[in-house]
Amino acid sequence: MKKRVISLCLAAALAAACGGAPARRTAADEPLLDWSAWKLHRTTVVHPAGTIKPADVERAKENMRRYEWARAYAEELRRGADDWLNRLTPEWIATMIPVETPGDTLFTPCPACRDLKKPAHPHGQYRWDAAAPNEMTCEVCGTIYPSEKYPESMVFTTKSGQKLGFYGGPEFVLFGFPTRPSFTANIRARKVAAATRACRELAEAYALTGNEEYGHGARRLLLRFAEVYPNWLVHVGYGEYADMDPHAAALNIKNLPENEITPTPAGPDKSLHSGYWQGGRATGTGMEAGFVRQMLEAYSFIRAKPQSGEDILSGEERLKIEKDLLLESTVLLIADKAVNNKSVGNATAVALAGMVLGHPEMVRFGLDVFLKTVDGWFLPDGGTSESYSYATMTLNGIESMGQAFRGYSDPPGYKDAGGRRIDDIDLYRQTAYARVWQAMFNGMQGDLKYPPLADGHRTTALGDRLTELMADNYPEDGRYTALLKELAGPDLSGGDVRTAVYFRPPGLEEKETAPLSLPDILFPALRFGYLRSGETGRSSCLVLSASDWGIHHHFDSLELYYWQDGRELLSDLGYLWDHPMSLMSRRTFAHNTVMVDGGEQLSKGRGGEFTFFASKGPMKAMEAESRAYPQATLYRRTVAQVEYEPGRLYVVDVFRVRGGRKHQYVFHGPGNAYELASPELETPGRIEGLALEQVRASSAAAEWQVTWNLGATDFRALWRNEPGERSIVGDGWGQRDYRNSDVGAVLPYIVRERAGAAEPSVYVTVFESAPAGREVVRGVRRLAVPEIPAADAVAVAVDTPEGVDYFVSCLRPVEVKLDTPHGELAVNGRFGAVSVRRGKAASASAAAGTTVSLGGKILEGK
């Protein structure tokens, strides 16, 4: 029985398989396996090369002379290097860099947790310490592995004599694939990661201090890696190993020339299950670059001109490390031609290898993928094609390219097959890279984290390292320096010190910057609209998402996310990663949107676009629509934000849907400390189609208010049940941590449901966060609209302490006239709003060419 490929990320490989197995590739089919360019140009390289250049080492030394934070970094590096040196016995090196191929730290579920029926993650949750390197402990149940109770009784011997053991008990089904864990392979991966870190840190300590003991320590580790790496097998995290020439396996990972080693009950099928997506040799997650880049950096550091005049490495040792470790480690990476959030980092490693080893064609391989990433993986507006969490992952994969190309030129006399050379390309300014950085800046909320939309986490931020690189490479943009000062402190003594010591220009802390501010912004390709408040735009963040379906997206079209003063108010549950219950946070019901007929939104072809975005003045508005359900002929959301004074505001939400038999407007608030002001409620028990407990409901045409107590402030949602509408409150899924620290967590879900009809269902809701007694909103009501435009228009009045705010939203440009105590309100177009305070129009807003007048006086439009 053939194994099933279930990941969307492997769709291309599956499609190829459906058309018959492709012809197997050989070394002759891959030009980059020809290393003759390396032999020709390797002696022209000036070290350190790659990301850190000789000028960067000099800058680091200048920063160390000028700043205590830089000296503290160097001292910490020295202490760490001393600690590594004390461990470097031959026995320790052999233990930490084993002959047997390391597995991976993931894909190792705990059988003891399974027996104890404990909530556990498919990847396991383990603790490992380099002081006891041959064992690891499950953090959930405390079982120590290897374990006599759960022995690795399934053992395979490779052609080179490696012993690969697997747990011999009942298999686990991981993401649809039955397999067995290997605890010893997991432990080997942790050992190799520690030895890799030791090697790089020793080499870096040598570069900054000149202490040759550190350089020789790194040398011993590099030589051990060069000894064993050529025999490490291509494998994937699921526990399958290609016991054959790694070059042949790398080129044909899904169409192997021989059977693979596999612990799956189905047996081998000449294919590594997850292919390049998880392929590796030192690792098994598809991100071999993490290992390769550290090896390259370590090697290049100890190749720098020594103070004593005597090289750390002999000529023979340089050849061995370059050929058997550094070039060999690129074989799998160059075989993968895809562009995704993993492969881009691998391609970067290939480019860095080209620079460190003198192979200009490898440099071009990485540059080509970099350009495809900033021009294709990232969207035309610079936004992320997946989620902000994966945008930072992708940026971390390519960020070394910008640094590496500073001052890079091809070897003297070299020209490619087209007669071209690379000489001093500025990737920061001559490519779409600048647009990506700008979008990452503009996409933050006020606490400098990203909204946890799609497969995102509420803790995701640009991070100290990426912020440092952004500020250092765009010094002309004061916003980036201001962001760096927010993270690293006004004197820039914090942040990512390792990046700063090499790349930050001395004296940057003296640059005057304006207070950090964030703009209202529409990302037309990403299809996110942001409305903000406060003098710097950091008090609140309201996001409307019309993003189409894609990898790492959710069933969440026209979701509304709201953050204010450090709290999520209308929250998104975010990303449960590879958790077996991850659908619970991806499904439509988990989001603040509308469900049609109780089903999921489309996963393909739902589109999504903004019909207008108006962010001028204190009354702002945005609107988007999509084809989220095939039976829905109308699916549109209009959102207005009114700011009475900096940071004091409320939101009006108008959601229209037509088509289908049932419509359910869903939202959930920030926690379980809430109060209801509503009609008398029934307790119908469970409601079909809604995964809710403790359900209460009412169909009475009356006012509703839900108030969450957040300490210093309250968050309120206000609406009125319209005739034919039922409002429901119940406890639903609230878990947000894939590590199961909050198993069983619930949140209150509010559902407003109506039967579908010829006329659209219209849901009007007001949201406000304010200290008790400082609320702006006193009430919300629908206004009657004249018969002629009634099918197209919705009019809303929000009562305030100083008067009333009017909102008119139209499906198409029409003229709406309403009699009000303040005169006739006339809106001609798509959207208009007027705030009346103390009997006078205080502000107004219009969108999409709309004209707004009150009492015969035009307030907005021509």
HEC string for 301-343: HHCCCCCCCCCCCCHHHHHHHHHHHHHHHHHHHHHCCCCCCCH
On average, the pLDDT of the chain sits at 94
* pLDDT score at 309: 74
Measure the CA angle with vertex 631, ends 626 and 635; round to 5°.
Answer: 30
What token pair was written down for 452? 């946890």
In whole angstroms, give the CA distance from residue 484 to residue 87.
37
pTM of the complete model beyond 0.85: yes
What token pair was written down for 185? 């392979």
Question: Bridge-partner residues for 655, per DSSP?
Answer: 637, 763
Cβ-based neighbour number of residue 399 at 10 Å = 21
- What is the C-alpha end-to-end distance of the chain, expressed in Å? 71
Phi, psi values for residue 506, rounded to 5°: -55, 140
In whole angstroms, give the CA distance from residue 211 to residue 233.
35
SS3 label, residue 520: coil
Pick the closest to residue 825 from 793, 801, 800 (CA basis): 793
What token pair was written down for 672? 């379980």
* pLDDT score at 8: 31
Ranges of the chain with pLDDT below 50: 1-19
* pLDDT score at 21: 62
Contact 410, 360 (CB under 8 A): yes
* pLDDT score at 20: 55
Domains and CATH numbers, the chain: 521-777 (2.70.98.70), 778-862 (no CATH)
CA atoms within 13 Å, Cβ hemisphere of 345: 22
* pLDDT score at 13: 37
* pLDDT score at 2: 33
What token pair was written down for 432? 């779409």
What token pair was written down for 9? 């990320």
**DSSP alpha helix (H) spans, 715-784:** none
Contacts of 13 (CB under 8 A, 6+ apart): 5, 254, 275
What is the distance, to the nearest Å, from the Cα of residue 787 to the centroid of all Cα atoms in its chain? 48
What token pair was written down for 853? 């007048």
* pLDDT score at 788: 85
